[in-house]
Amino acid sequence: MQFLTLIISNHTAIIHRIMKLSCPLTFSILSAYCRRRSGLLLHKSESVKQIHGGQKYTPASVVFHTSNPDKETPHISNAPDLPIVHHDGYESYLPPGHRFQMRKFNKLRDVLLHDGVISKKQMSSPVHVTKDELIRVHTEEYIEKFFEGKTSAKEQRVTGFTWSEGLVSRCRYETGGTILAAELALGRGLVCNTGGGTHHAFPEHGAGFCLLNDMAVAASLMVHRGKVDRVLIIDLDVHQGDGTALIFQEDPSVFTLSVHCGKNYPLKKQQSDLDVSVDRGTGDDDYMRIIQDHIPSVLTNFRPGLVFFDAGVDPHKDDALGYLELTDQGLFRRDYWVINEVIQRGIPCVTVIGGGYDKDIDRLAARHSIVHRAAKKVWQERRL
């Protein structure tokens, strides 16, 4: 057994990727043993559990965790339609001309309401994520620095944002929104957040307009609270989800799948469980073939109990930072296919909006609404 431990310690990354797919139960037991022997205990209070398939959508099984220092309580919609998670606090002030369109979150809500894609009665609102929830994946030192405004000027430049109390509040609401969406999805089957997808946030620092890694926090919490045994993160933002990949590299309970433009930010890529690098200029048909060649096998072999889908719109041909050539129709095909592929297997799904960069706020908000339109179509067709 000492020899086995040595081999695994030296080849952890390779074995993790093979065994996450080939035999999840064996991998969970073996990985847990090796982390104990080698000291690689990355997540507190993890346990090895029996493998399950897709979950039934049973609302009675959902228990909401709403404890927070601000004494807030979430608003939970009981409407029978597609659940939408949104909070006006997803936005905070940025100076005019900033590349990140902070106004897009409330503009997206307005577009969805104006076009009749959703109604106000479908909307649930989250509370601030707590420090205890965040340190599931972030270091306590980083969270304290971020909350208290003690990040350095250099650290702030890497994130693309100047620190403010409003920025902290915005990020906490957004991460709280993805947590709420995950809890709702376990009861309803499919939930769309109007924010989220901050996949460049690392355990000890932010980067690339991402300060708190909402999907990573929510995924870790769902496993830690015993809601699911395994989570799959499907990241189709045009940029690799490097922060998410690093966070879960040694975690058998979360599989990270990133399809991204290879010659794009970040220059230094991390190693996801599955990375699919796409060439610049890739259009609708080729892109669809790529994701259809990879996603079904991961769903089949990893057998997640919950899926997070980052539906970033920066692969769009008109995106300022994308370098791919997807059209509006291509984004809809992508989003509909991914959501339907997950839901038809009986697996709960959470969508987040991810990245998107356009000086025209109306065009950008309309682009971000595509995933909600696709989700509504799946919801109606599957009669969820």
- Residue for token pair 């376990």: 186
Q: How confident is the model at residue 209 (pLDDT cuts 50, 70, 90)?
A: very high
> What is the structure's pLDDT at 384?
84
d(CA 16, CA 24): 10
Beta-carbon contacts of 153 under 8 Å, excluding residues fewer than 6 positions away, are none
- pLDDT higher than 80, residue 107: yes
Which of 31-45, 121-135, 189-203, 306-320 has the weakest average pLDDT?
31-45
d(CA 300, CA 232): 11
Mean pLDDT value across the chain: 86
d(CA 347, CA 190): 9
- pLDDT higher than 60, residue 2: no
Report whether CATH 3.60.15.10 matches the domain 59-382: no
| Predicted TM-score (pTM) of this structure | 0.84
Task: Identify the CA nearest to 382 among candidates 374, 17, 318.
Answer: 374
Paired residues of 261 in beta bridges: 278
Going through 190-253 in order, the beta strands assigned E by DSSP cover: 190-193, 231-235
> What is the structure's pLDDT at 29?
35
> What is the structure's pLDDT at 63?
45
Residue 311 to residues 134, 195, 302, 350: CA-CA distances in angstroms?
Answer: 23, 10, 21, 10
Q: Six-digit token pair at 70?
A: 């601000």
- pLDDT higher than 90, residue 102: no
Paired residues of 258 in beta bridges: 235, 275
- pLDDT higher than 90, residue 9: no
Rounded CA Rg of the chain: 19
Q: What would the mean pLDDT of 306-331 be, rounded to a whole number?
A: 97
d(CA 256, CA 273): 5
Task: Identify the CA nearest to 229 among candidates 132, 134, 303.
Answer: 303
Q: How confident is the model at residue 158 (pLDDT cuts 50, 70, 90)?
A: very high
In the chain, domain spans = 2-38, 59-382
| Selected residue with higher pLDDT from 200 and 101 | 200
Task: Identify the CA nearest to 226 among candidates 16, 34, 55, 72.
Answer: 55
CB 208 within 8 A of CB 124: no
- pLDDT higher than 80, residue 165: yes
Q: What percent of the chain has pLDDT over 90?
A: 78
**229-274 pLDDT, tens per residue?**
999 999 999 999 999 999 999 999 999 999 999 999 999 999 999 9
SS3 of residue 6 by DSSP:
helix
CB 287 within 8 A of CB 324: yes
Which of 48-57, 131-140, 202-211, 289-298 has the weakest average pLDDT?
48-57
Burial of 308 (0-12, 13-18, 19+ CB in 10 A): buried
**49-69 pLDDT, tens per residue?**
222 334 444 433 444 444 454
Residue 274 to residues 77, 202, 206, 259, 326: CA-CA distances in angstroms?
Answer: 36, 18, 23, 8, 22
